[in-house]
Chains A and B, each alone.
Chain A
Amino acid sequence: MAIGGGGEPVDDATFYRRLARHAGLEFVILDEEAEADLGFAEVNPLAARLLTEELCRHFNMLPIAYRDSVVTVAACDPFDELAIELATTLMASEVELVLAEPDDVDHAITRTFGPLRPPNFEDLGPAPSEAPRLGDLLVAGGVATDEQIDAALREQRRDGLRLGEVLLHSGAIGEPDLIAALAEQLQMPVLDLRDGQIDADVVKRIPEPIARELRIAPIAEDETTLYVAVADVLSTGQLEQLEAHTDSEIVASLAAPSLIDEILEAAYSGEHIDLAINDLRERLPESSAAVVVTPGQKAFLVGIGLATAIGFVLAPRATAVVLVGLASLFYLSTSFYKFRLVYKALGHPYEVQTSDAEVDALDERGLPVYSILVPLYKEAGVVPALVAAIEGLSYPKAQLDVLLLCEEDDEETMHAIDAMALPPHFRLIVVPDSQPKTKPKACNYGLMLARGEVTVIFDAEDRPDADQLKKVILAFSKSKPNVTCVQAKLNYYNPDQNLLTRWFTTEYSMWFELLLPGLDADGAPIPLGGTSNHFITSRLRELGAWDPYNVTEDADLGIRLHRAGYRTAMVDSTTLEEANSDLGNWIRQRSRWIKGYLQTYLVHMRNPPQLLRQSGFKGFMSFQLLVGGTFIFLLNPIFWLLTTLFFFTHAGFIQAMFPTFVFYLAASMLFVGNFVFLYLNVAGSIQRGLFGLAKYALLTPLYWGLMSVAAWKGAGQLVVKPFYWEKTEHGLHTSGHAEPAAPQPRRAAAPAPVQAEGRASDPERTPQPAGRS
């Protein structure tokens, strides 16, 4: 044998096969046409992309498979330490090397990345953009399938979100999978803090708003270093700022976003609940209903009372006439105003109109994060239906931020939520046990944690139209910049259950189809309905959010918003709710609404000149007639009694109370005004296409009678228990409503008995349809 060994130079196949054997490595054939050959190895295209093309070409190697954190890399040089080290580092995985022919590898690289382009050696370094792609990592790791990645990529093209978020919110992968993949991608360690105790003082080293915005939480510290859990990699600038602020070196580790939220929530819950309860009261005491009647108002009321009493002693007839005259005038004005609003709205769609085509054409990539607050109390049963309703909303899931607000003592509901293993856009928020236990307090608490640019409240049994959120986004975009709230219409899905629900539905139809749009058109303050009102989050916070001491916080907020110069618009989208079908239950609910309206009236009338200045004359009058119009329900029984007495007895003293003009006023109200209002209920039903309800609307005067009962109950409570939240039971509707899911019995358990006990998150909006003597 001559020097130089084998005489004829061996072919590559032989050479490298032998080299592999000598190096103790597996030899593989990557040529797809040699599939049948021994040693053929299929190249996993996603694994192949774990390294950049440049690296692969430079080192003539290619990752071909990924399993259990080990990447199999096909190479030609079994001992290229630099290449192996780079591959190991960049893929953050153990590398198992296999040998292949150079041409074979080269072809495989070309198959993976396409034909060779002019190399750019500057890019050879491990820059972040060169990091392996997340989807590849997830597929390579067997966490997600190619199909899921493809679907997610398609969705990503539509909504512009990050791939990981899309996969996560679609339920394709879990949060731990994503974090593991991210850690590999970003070359960062992962923290698992589930069982660790974290010192709240350490958490507070970084101010909460910054922590929330960056989604980071400090978890430990030593003399020089602050260890921070992050949901995503921080930029150099952010790091520098944090280091400057904390005067420490920042060491970041990845952690699940939900975990970071939990850490922050645990550290700040005490402050949050304090803010939820007291923020408005401390910051804007004049707007808080924590004080029912101010000393000035007390003096005024006592003065009026005294004057009336003296009047009755000195000139009883004249006093009675003045009172009756004022009341009649008030009736007439209220009726005229409401009629005007409604009649205007009958002819013109004042809601912001959004067509299906516009909704379809909406670019999801521009959609903001949308927070949905759902206060829940003892309603584990409705959780599945609620989740179904929210999942049915047409909005990118990754842009949803659903906060399920549970009271701390409501373990049942929390368990129900936990058991559902909801996707990460649902967050269970535990509202610390505290008084007053009202819906607005829970909402305030949730609002502090809300991430959305837009925030909406839904009740647990609500069924919003699927495209409501998109319509609202469109409505905001079409409205003037000072529009801060968009109110969707509310109606009921069980109108035909009984007479009460029929009345309730006709009332709602009139209120939401006609009256509120009329107010909207007039630029007058709109007393919001308790659900389906969509806010610009930052402005809502600026306004002090909801008043936890007001039992119709929704209506109050609507007025406060208007006074601050903001506006509410109506949108042509409906949320269906359950109409109260039980009389006792109805009276409780209505008494709370009326009490709340009285509270709201008192709060905003603490400084009438200021109200006039802020709302303008029109707004001021509208407030008097609409919110102040609540007093009519208190007056009604008195007038009904007088009328009845007069018809049967022709008693002189009654006649004396109605001198000519007052009598004409009262008579026209009695015979024309009442009918007009009754008829407007008919009109509302017809307008909404609820033809079958028209005849029941004719019986509305009986319904007004019930309202007066509730009004007196509410007024009494305002004196005795101003913050008591009359709870409303739900799930009384049992007929065959199957879509989307039958509501479950709600709130059967007794609430905690204190002032403001038993807060409920019922459909708490507060219409005030007209009724008169």
Chain B
Amino acid sequence: MATVVQRPPQSPPADGTPRRVQAVGSNAHLGHVAEEISQPRWIEGLLLFAIAAGLYFWVGYRTVVDDGIVVFDALDRLARAYMVWHNEPPKLAAIGFVFPPLTTMVFLPLTIVKPLATSLVALPLASSLFGGSMVVAMNRLLARCSMPGLQRWPLLAVFALNPLLVFYAGNGMSEVVYLALLTFSLYCFASWMLTAQPRFLIAAAMVFSALVLLRYSFGILALVISVLVVVGLSRRGAADDEAEGTLVTFLAPIVYAFGVWILFNWLIVGDPLGWLGGSGAFAVNAAQAGSTSGVTVVDVLGRLGELALGVFGLGIVVVPALIVTAIAKRDEMSWWLAILALVSVAVIGAGALIQQDLDPLAMRNALPVLIISVAGAGWLYRVLPSLRTVIWLGGLAGLVLTALGSWNAMKTYPFQGQEQAFTRAISSGADQHGSNSIGGYRVGTRPEEQMAAYVNAHVRGRSTILADNAQTFGVILLSGRPQTFFDRVDRGDGRFRQAVLRPYGRVGYMLMARQASGDLVRRRYPTTATRVAAGLGPVFETERYLLLKVPARDPRRTRGAVAAGGGQVGGQARGSDATPSTGTAAP
């Protein structure tokens, strides 16, 4: 019989889906750690964000853009961020190497769009975005503390409307950025404590790596937290391995952030640790305060007391309560919050004592303590279920009193940055341009605007105005044309200093801040006499700035060459102040 050979088909005829086996049990996709209160839904967060950011932006726009209450630190950062994109050539180094770099970098996305920066809208815009984020983070934190929405929202409202926060959430300063991040990191720590999920620790660590680049002193808090982590883990009997791995996880991003910063400073500035000693203030718009002398512990404690009442009043009650709870209930997170609050206060005081300067006692520096205090109140709410109503009512009242205290302190506290003008603007709605504010500030940017307008109208060419951008940033930014200026960013400090010494033929003008002692141009030509001697003629001046015309050739050199029979670089430098000048006519 003939055989039929069949090539087997590729797959057997059977339909191959395996028999579905009836699974028993609950829905296993719900593998998360159960939480008492579900986290706020995204729509709630979005709504809160929109409301808070909108409010902050509106207040910020009114006070900054309309009323002229521009904090010059913020203006400086904004100008630097602007120059990162629009300088000629664009330079990342415009960020600068003294201030924490993220204070500038947060503006980077906004300054790509020129008008946002030159109109100063970027200041309230950036701040309000972070202000909104701060409120959202606080909402999550309170929810994590099992506080239901109806109790959360009133508390949040009073918190968010604290006048000091409103001011900083709209003025472009970096404070609100780190407050938002600090709030979020506290949320992460609380979540980590409650769920033991590593992702919260990871997120907290990454947030802290940003925090230290916003304010170096957060490094100290990071160290304190590291100790707390290790102590906490060993108290819970974790293996050494776990403590080590957890510590590595937390510290790695922070150490890395510092490491990169040190590397940059070393490579670009040549001084790896130069940023540690950097001075903070560029009070171009303030009378130069004489150096404070003889700061005593008593002074500092007194001021800290004022700050407590004026900024973090809630903490006066919450921190002792946290300590009592920590001891009574052996609660780790209560320890954390109490210690973090106390360390934050101590850092402010120690800073003032070490620097022998009361500037660190500025109101804004105490804001982190306010955040920690609110978080502490939330945590107490969670760990003391029987006292929830009391804690909630106390928290609400505390926040109201804190807000009132802040309003009061803003009007009177000596170490501040135009908070007083802000209170005036809010209560009267009046334009603050040209007014004075505690700390020797002249409010407003009219002098910058006038100079910028003049430059834009009369000066052509690139890199033709020699200017120390660390002092004249306001003019540079408001002119919108950084390419016109030859500043410290363009070719680095070295070339800039050379140009200050020998501007002739290199630049057509010099711009200096009239009162800022830090202005390198002004330092070189501090008096009319020196300027006249150097052949520099005033072209235009405003309340704060002076624009000088630079001759094509060094008048002294011309004469010196006749006298000495040849030009010499060294001689120029040595004789700069001594040589009388005939001056040159202004155009």
Hey, which bits of chain A sit against chain B, CB under 8 A?
201-202, 204-205, 207-209, 212-213, 221-224, 246-248, 268, 271, 275, 279, 283, 343, 346-349, 352-355, 357-358, 361-363, 366-368, 448, 453-454, 473-474, 476-478, 481, 536-539, 541-542, 544, 647, 660, 663-664, 667, 671, 675, 679, 682-683, 685-687, 690-695, 698
Contacts and interface: CB of A to CB of B under 8 A. Distances in A.
Interface in B1-36: 1, 3-25, 28-32
A246 B206 CA distance: 73
Nearest to A676: B206
B246 interface: yes
B267 interface: yes
B206 A679 contact: yes
Given A366-B21, A664-B92, A209 B202 contact: no
A698 B248 contact: yes
A693 B245 contact: yes
A208 B10 contact: no
B42 to A, nearest CB: 14
Contacts of A454: 18
Contact of A362 (B1, B17, B24, B244): B24
Given A354-B28, A368-B18, A477-B22, A271 B7 contact: yes
Given A358-B24, A685-B245, A695-B244, A542 B10 contact: yes
A525 to B, nearest CB: 21
A357 B24 CA distance: 8
B320 interface: no
Contact of B252 (A223, A353, A687, A698): A698
B355 interface: no
Given A212-B12, A349-B31, A671 B92 contact: no
A2 B13 CA distance: 82
Contacts, number: 172
A283 B9 CA distance: 12
B256 interface: yes
A308 to B, nearest CB: 26
B242 interface: yes
B330 interface: no
A353 B31 contact: yes
Given A201-B3, A268-B8, A454-B18, A683 B24 contact: no
Contacts of A207: 6, 8
B25 A355 contact: yes
B25 A358 contact: yes
B517 interface: no
**Chain B CB within 10 A, most for which of A224, A357, A664, A682:** A682
Contact of B17 (A247, A275, A536, A685): A536
A367 B9 CA distance: 26
30 contacts: A204-B5, A209-B9, A213-B12, A279-B10, A346-B198, A347-B197, A353-B28, A353-B30, A358-B24, A358-B25, A361-B24, A362-B21, A362-B24, A367-B21, A473-B18, A476-B21, A536-B18, A538-B17, A539-B16, A541-B10, A541-B12, A647-B267, A664-B92, A667-B92, A685-B245, A686-B201, A692-B244, A694-B248, A695-B245, A698-B248
Contacts of B13: 209, 213
Interface in B22-79: 22-25, 28-32
A481 B17 contact: yes
Nearest to A541: B11
Contact of A213 (B14, B29, B241, B253): B14
B21 A660 contact: no
B249 interface: yes
A204 B248 contact: no
A367 B12 CA distance: 20
4 cross-chain pairs, A with B, having the tightest CB-CB distances, nearest first: A538-B16, A691-B245, A353-B28, A208-B8
Nearest to A452: B18
Contact of A682 (B5, B21, B90, B252): B252
Nearest to A201: B3
B260 interface: yes
Nearest to B87: A660
A367 B20 CA distance: 9
Interface in B224-254: 239, 241-246, 248-249, 252-253
B3 A205 contact: yes
Contacts of A671: 260
A690 B198 CA distance: 12
A474 B21 contact: yes
A137 to B, nearest CB: 31
B482 to A, nearest CB: 13
A440 to B, nearest CB: 16
A222 B21 CA distance: 46
B270 to A, nearest CB: 13
B133 to A, nearest CB: 18
Contacts of A453: 16-19
Nearest to A211: B8
A682 B8 contact: no
A537 B16 contact: yes
A258 B83 CA distance: 80
B198 A204 contact: no
**Chain B CB within 10 A, most for which of A246, A283, A671, A690:** A671
A243 to B, nearest CB: 12
A477 B245 contact: no
Contact of B202 (A202, A212, A686): A686
B6 A363 contact: no
A279 to B, nearest CB: 7
Contact of A346 (B199, B256, B260): B199
B274 interface: no
Given A213-B12, A694-B248, 20 more contacts: A204-B3, A204-B5, A207-B6, A346-B199, A349-B32, A352-B28, A362-B24, A363-B22, A367-B19, A476-B20, A477-B20, A478-B29, A664-B92, A675-B253, A679-B202, A686-B245, A687-B199, A691-B242, A691-B244, A692-B241
Nearest to A200: B5
Nearest to B30: A353
A474 B24 CA distance: 9
A574 to B, nearest CB: 16
Contact of A694 (B11, B20, B199, B249): B249
Contacts of B14: 213, 538
Given A683-B199, A692-B245, A694-B244, A355 B28 contact: yes
Contacts of A201: 3, 5
Contacts of A679: 202, 206, 252-253
